[in-house]
Every structure is written in structure tokens, then in C-alpha cells.
A = this chain, B = another copy of it.
Amino acid sequence: MNNIFKALNDETRREILELLRRRDMTAGEIADAFHISKPSISHHLDILKRADLVTSEKKGQFIVYSLNTTIVDDILNWVINLKK
């Protein structure tokens, strides 16, 4: 859970997840949605990937990112357990 909460502890990364909730996006498309440099977004994507919150697939010169809802379930369960 450590990597997951670490990944969620940043407004930009949470917004990236909210974007990917709608549709898969390339690294460049994601970067364009923020006023932050591309290397910084790349770093955020790396953190999200290490936490398994997103997956990535190379398509030609692009890299397409997707939300991994399996791990979202893990967060859900942790939080729900707090209420039991």
C-alpha cells in the first residue's frame, strides 16, 4: 500500500488518474493537460506506474497510458476496511 498512497499524495498525479478514467492517453496528451514540463509529467507517470495504478504500452513513437482499475480496488478495500 505504501507505493499506492505515495502515488496518490500529489494533486497532479490524482488529476492524471482522473483523466485516464475517461480514456487512454499518450504521455504527450497528458503533459498538455498541465502547466508542468514534460520531464516532470514523465516522472509522475513513472511513480503511478510503479504503484501499478497505470499501465503503459508503446505504440510506435507514442506511449499510451491506461488506468489500472485492479489496484483502485485495493485502495477501495483498504478504505472500506477502516469503516468495518
Contact = CB atoms under 8 A, between A and B. Distances in A.
Interface of A: 1-2, 5-6, 8-11, 14, 17-18, 21, 67, 69, 72-73, 75-76, 79-84
A5 to B, nearest CB: 5
Given A5-B9, A8-B5, A67 B79 contact: no
A79 B75 contact: yes
A72 B67 contact: no
Contact of A1 (B1, B14, B73, B76): B14
Contacts of A80: 76
Nearest to A76: B79
B1 A5 contact: no
